[in-house]
Chain A
Amino acid sequence: MSRSFGLILVVAWLLTPRTAGAAGNSMAVSQELDAQYTYIAGAGTRGAGPGVGSVSEHSAGVKYVFSPQVTKDLLLRLGFEWQRFSFDVPGHAPIPDTLQQASAVIGLDYQFGDQWLVRAELEPGMYSDFEDSRFRDFNAPLVLGAAYLAEADLQWFFGVRVDLRSNYPIMPAPGVRWKFADEWTLNLVFPNPRLEYDVNDRFQVYLGANVESGTFVVGDHFGSDHGVTKLDHATMDYMAICVGPGCSWKALPSLTVEAGAGLMLQRRFDFFDENTTIRNHEAPYLQIACHARF
């Protein structure tokens, strides 16, 4: 894993002087930094036997992408993503304490014709509970997306996530961004579909959903340690769906800070190979995030 991060840094270092320097143009390199933290209060559990109690969650994530412009229509995307879900698990509930993603980001953006933008992004890395990291923790989901820029106020999105480890190896996600009134925007783009209202040029409130998901491998002794041996080194689809209001503040032209709260509708740990699914009941959540573009 550290070698792949090292490779990314070397490639980024090589591209910086060549791309930006060749054009002598600082505008030819862009960077994205997204960070978020979410707390979900204790949620009752179903599917893990009696007396499991409630499970609360802290999750945090950071994604950094360095994007040099190679040609007029082509941008590379190189970076890393780290995400960690920590669960306060009572007793011996077969829920991992931690799930983590530590991956590289390798991709590209390309403009086709006048109105199409496409993105391909591979995220090779480790997706597991990090109890006993091995090669089988390695995964490389691929995200393919296309945006049709119909006009300034209307764009259509077509996305698909390909993850061969998942119970749903191909997950399509169509979307639309439609500014249907001066102050209102319907921004139905996965994984954060929202209805947005612009209070002013800098401040926005929204009602939206947040879907967090991933496919992870648990440790060799995870099942044994929790009294369910069939779950040793099992593969698991994780998903949490939260809905609620939030607000977004453009603190600087290049920095947006967001805060949201509401209800987690469902959280699911699906050990699909072993026909074992653990679900959590509804619970309140809080989320803060920031997005920098520079």
Chain B
Amino acid sequence: MKRMIFWFGVAWCGIVVSTAYSQGTGPLESLKRFSAIQRIDLGKMLDGEILAERGELMKFHNGITAETCFVAPIPPEDAVKQLQIWDPSPHESLKVYAFQALHDPCEPGDFKRLSFRSNQHSVRWLLEKTQAGAPDKSDLNLSRTEARELAGCAGKNSDPDRIASCWTKLLVARAASFQRQELNGVPPYETTGETVQPMTQLRAMLDEELPAANEFQPILHRIGLFGGANDAATLEPYYYWSLFDADHHATINLGAVYQLRVDDHFQMVDVEYYVSGNYYTSVTLYEIWPIRVGGRSGSLIWRDDFLAAPMLKFTKGTERLAYGAIMLQEIKKEIRCFQDDMKAKQ
């Protein structure tokens, strides 16, 4: 009934919705089935509006989630490609210092843009934490083997290039392990006082968001993140790394983006299988549909961000509400930059 009122309202306003994709099992109906975002005005979204909804409080203490929905003025095939390869580093407000694709198999040369030669406080923080790490204890997310090797390589050496080469060695090993064994090749974090397996954290969050997880079962199942057996061999991920500022601390991540065509639309999963610190891991689910409103067309993109961070366990009550609201603002900021770049490409 609500849906009928919505469509009557749209017709009354004189806006002609002429897309074949929007009828019956079209994107809006599909989206409303699994999303908390229910009020959608495609006309406004084509003008740049970003819809956002903070997720429900999770039972999983380290987890938080937020949904967003927006339109990119490009066909879905282009949107899928751009979401994978988009380099956010030119946007100063996003504080991404470097973004780079990885070869498969990855090579040390893939990390040549990793540099600690910076006066930025956040980069100095990572440099100092790297130097301060002991073989069995570190504030960074490392396995015991990595902590031992990083301490042996970096030692008390403060040469930024030396630190960068030590990190390159570690990141190449992590990325190569993931490329060989996918999710089974992700070593745990063992130096912050408890053993944390990033993939376990991701699965715990997805288990609580069943409507979204079920919607994405075709792709999540194939990459082995949800719903049993791993059959990822047929999906070719896009591998990347980046260096960015997270809460005023420089952070290095390794990620993989999977895509799958499902009927008339696409699904994407962006997994951060390694994060150097501040938080444990994240996964972003994307669903992308073609839309046409009047004479305008584009891609309707729904996005669900899941973040696992140790401090969330201690972020409750009002602070949790504020954390969720600020997380949404940061995601919307990133989306606006993406939309601006896509407009500029037209």
A contact set with B: CB distance below 8 Å: 23-30, 32, 67, 69, 72-73, 75, 109, 111, 114-115, 117, 119, 147, 149-152, 155, 179, 181-183, 201, 253-254, 293-294
Contacts and interface: CB of A to CB of B under 8 A. Distances in A.
Interface of B: 52, 54, 56-59, 61, 120-122, 139, 247-248, 310-311, 313-314, 316-322, 325-326, 328-330, 332-333
A73 B36 CA distance: 14
Contacts of B56: 72
A26 B314 CA distance: 11
A149 B52 CA distance: 15
B330 A114 contact: no
Q: What does DSSP make chain B's interface, helix, strand, loop or mixed?
A: helix
B237 to A, nearest CB: 29
Contact of A114 (B316, B317, B329): B329
B247 to A, nearest CB: 7
Contact of B322 (A69, A147, A254, A293): A147
A109 B325 CA distance: 14
Given A72-B56, A182-B121, A151 B317 contact: no
A117 B59 contact: no
B185 to A, nearest CB: 31
Given A149-B322, A151-B326, A32 B317 contact: yes
Contacts of B333: 151
A117 B329 contact: no
Nearest to A201: B139
30 contacts: A23-B59, A25-B59, A27-B57, A27-B61, A27-B316, A27-B320, A28-B57, A30-B319, A30-B320, A69-B317, A75-B321, A109-B317, A111-B54, A114-B54, A114-B325, A114-B328, A115-B325, A117-B318, A117-B321, A147-B322, A149-B322, A149-B329, A151-B329, A152-B247, A155-B322, A182-B122, A201-B139, A253-B314, A293-B314, A294-B316
Q: Quick one: which of A23, A293, A294 has the most chain B CB within 10 A? A: A293
A291 to B, nearest CB: 12
Contacts of A293: 314, 316-317, 319
Contacts of B58: 25, 27
A27 B329 contact: no
Q: What does DSSP make chain A's interface, helix, strand, loop or mixed?
A: mixed
B317 to A, nearest CB: 3
A182 B120 CA distance: 9
Nearest to A65: B317
Nearest to B129: A201
B321 A111 contact: yes
A275 to B, nearest CB: 41
A277 B316 CA distance: 43
Given A25-B57, A117-B318, A149 B326 contact: yes
A23 B326 contact: no
Contacts of A29: 316
Nearest to A253: B314
Contacts of A24: 59
B317 A72 contact: no
Contacts of B319: 30, 293
Given A28-B57, A149-B326, 17 more contacts: A24-B59, A25-B57, A25-B59, A67-B318, A69-B57, A114-B54, A114-B325, A114-B329, A115-B325, A115-B329, A149-B325, A151-B329, A155-B322, A182-B121, A253-B314, A293-B314, A294-B314
Given A182-B248, A254-B314, A293-B319, A152 B59 contact: no
Contacts of A182: 120-122, 248
Contacts of A253: 310-311, 313-314
A205 to B, nearest CB: 16
B35 to A, nearest CB: 14
Given A25-B57, A27-B59, A119 B318 contact: yes
B277 to A, nearest CB: 10
Contacts of A117: 318, 321-322, 325
Nearest to A29: B316
A2 B9 CA distance: 56
Contacts of A111: 54, 321, 325
Q: Please name the 5 residue pairs, one residue from A and one from B, whose CB atoms are nearest each other, closest first.
A: A30-B317, A30-B316, A182-B121, A253-B314, A67-B317
A114 B61 contact: no
A29 B317 CA distance: 7
A181 B57 CA distance: 31
A161 to B, nearest CB: 18
Given A25-B59, A117-B322, A72 B54 contact: yes
A253 B320 CA distance: 14
B269 to A, nearest CB: 25
Contact of A109 (B57, B321, B328): B321
Nearest to A69: B57
A152 B318 contact: no
A109 B318 contact: yes
B28 to A, nearest CB: 21
A254 B328 CA distance: 24
Nearest to B139: A201
A260 to B, nearest CB: 23
Q: Quick one: which of B320, B321, B333 has the most chain A CB within 10 A? A: B321
Contacts of A254: 314
Nearest to B52: A114
Q: Quick one: which of B313, B317, B325 has the most chain A CB within 10 A? A: B317
